Amino acid sequence: MLIKYGVISGFNSLGSAKDYIVASSAAVLRRQQFLIRSLGGYTDQTNQRRMQEVKSMSGTALEADSESILRAISPILDPNRHKGQAGKIAVIGGCREYTGAPYFAAISALKIGADLSHVFCTKDAAPVIKGYSPELIVHPILEESYSISGLGDEERRRISSKILAEVDKWMERFDCLVVGPGLGRDPYLLECVSEIMNHARRSNVPIVIDGDGLFLVTNNIELISGYPLAVLTPNVNEYKRLVQKVLSCEVTDRDAFQLLQALAKRIGGVTILQKGKSDLISDGDIVKSVSIYGSPRRCGGQGDILSGSAMNPAVLGCIAASALLRKAASLAFENKKRSTLTSDIIECLGRSLEDISPAC
């Protein structure tokens, strides 16, 4: 849900994204028209009024008016719409070692209102992820080095092409890719995923990058550099590595906003959501902070909820996703205290959204 509204808000509020899109190809126009069409229920006037409201919320204050933004970009539920119009996302992740993270990201998207949620993972990971939930569409197509060991270069290339063709069949249908939750760091797999990202970029599909996806792009910054539809969601350590690599300096307590802004600018106007006690968000132009709600629990997996919810290229979507997760985490903590798990937070996403932005 946040996907499309975030993207459309992005078109309106982010200079860099807008310029890029205006300057770009027919494919972008198709996607833009599709996104606007997906607003369906609104008259042009209603839509324009809402977007005006959103823009006015940006303001100059550092702390974002995140609840108003979430309300403004939540789609109004309309019985005339059909399956898919509230969002179709794909998570690229899940390998022999990790299966929880891609599940958390994919199910979170559904829990905040998306219609369809796909996972592209390795053959080993697929049955496990399918087992977590019958709601997900899981494609067992990625390969790790160990599963192709003994094959020659040509055969490996043939397998890569097949994987890429398989993802390409679906690419145009997705409103957003989430690359990284539980992806692992296998070199062969990361090479394939780099190609998938290149294809997504050529099709102007927004890409949210988290977890091992951040490991990949930190070492291959050209994958997302200058792509305004990329959103990076680093935690403390991932952020440190990114700053070291891109800006060749260390992260200190001072000048946090300037550093984040400089980083986003240097990567060419991508949006960065830096997770922490307060979440900081920048696209290289503006910097915003979200510090409402939240919980002191730091159980592994919360970042995957965020990447599954953020799934849009613009600052507004990040602000909304941040507020949504922080409220859900605070609701879960109220009830479960220290025993709060990521699954408990996911169960509160619906109430969090409903409390902030009632469906009707």
Site for a second copy in 265-304 (CB under 8 A): 276-277, 294, 296-303
Asked if residue 165 binds a second copy (CB under 8 A), the reply is: no
Among 7, 121, 136, 318, binds a second copy (CB under 8 A): 136
Q: Does 103 bind a second copy (CB under 8 A)?
A: yes
- Which H or E element spans position 209? strand 207-209
Could you tell me where the beta strands, DSSP code E, fall in 106-201?
Answer: 116-122, 137-142, 176-179
User: Can you list the positions of beta strands (E) in 40-179?
Assistant: 88-92, 116-122, 137-142, 176-179
Of 116, 179, 263, 356, the one binding a second copy (CB under 8 A) is: 116
| Part in contact with a second copy (CB under 8 A); list of ranges 9-17, 76-84, 190-198, 305-313 | 76-84
- Give the pairing of strands 230-232 and 207-209: parallel
Q: Which pairs with CB-CB distance under 8 Å and at least 24 residues apart come from 130-136?
A: 132/99, 132/100, 132/103, 132/107, 133/103, 133/107, 135/107, 135/110, 136/103, 136/106, 136/107, 136/110
36 vs 341, beta carbon nearer a second copy: 341
Residue 317 marked ligand-binding: no
- Residue 277 assigned ligand-binding role: yes
Alpha carbon of 25 to those of 32, 204, 224, 247, 268: distances in Å? Answer: 11, 9, 18, 31, 19
User: Is 293 annotated to bind ligand?
Assistant: no
Structure tokens at 267: 């990567």
**Nearest by Cα to 120 from 96, 137, 97:** 137
- 132 is a site residue for a second copy (CB under 8 A): yes
Please name every residue paired with 281 in a beta bridge, in sequence order, or none if there are none. Answer: 273, 288
Instruction: Find the binder of a second copy among 12, 42, 115, 256 (CB under 8 A).
Output: 115
Q: Which residue has the tokens 């020659």?
A: 152
**Does 115 appear as a known binding residue?**
no
Stretch that binds a second copy, among 24-32, 53-61, 253-261, 333-341 (CB under 8 A): 333-341
1 near a second copy, judged by CB under 8 A: yes
Q: Are 10 and 314 in contact (CB under 8 A)?
A: yes
How far apart are alpha carbons 316 and 294 in whole angstroms?
A: 18
Closer CB to a second copy, 202 or 351, in the complex: 351
Residue 213 lies near a second copy (rule: CB under 8 A): no
Least distance to a second copy, CB of residue 292, Å: 12
Structure tokens at 338: 């220290």
User: Closest distance between a second copy and the C-beta of residue 25, in Å?
Assistant: 26
H or E segment to which residue 288 belongs: strand 287-290
Is 245 known to sit in a ligand binding site? Answer: no
Pick from 54, 72, 112, 177 the residue near a second copy by CB under 8 A.
Answer: 112
Q: Residue 90 phi/psi, 5° resolution?
A: -130, 130
Instruction: For a second copy, give the closer residue by CB, 283 or 344.
Output: 344
Number of H helices, E strands in the chain: 16, 9
Which of 140, 199, 241, 247 binds a second copy (CB under 8 A)? It is: 140
Q: Is 147 in the site for a second copy (CB under 8 A)?
A: no
**Residue of 137, 164, 221, 262 that binds a second copy (CB under 8 A):** 137
Size of the site for a second copy (CB under 8 A): 71
Cα–Cα distance measured from residue 187 to residue 281, given in angstroms and rounded to the nearest whole number = 30
Exactly one of 18, 55, 130, 266 binds a second copy (CB under 8 A); which one?
Answer: 130
228-267 positions binding a second copy, by CB under 8 A: 235-237
Q: Is 185 annotated as a binding residue?
A: no
Does residue 83 belong to the site contacting a second copy (CB under 8 A)? yes
Binding site for (6S)-NADPHX: which residues? 182, 235-241, 304
Binding site: which residues? 182, 235-241, 275-279, 294-304
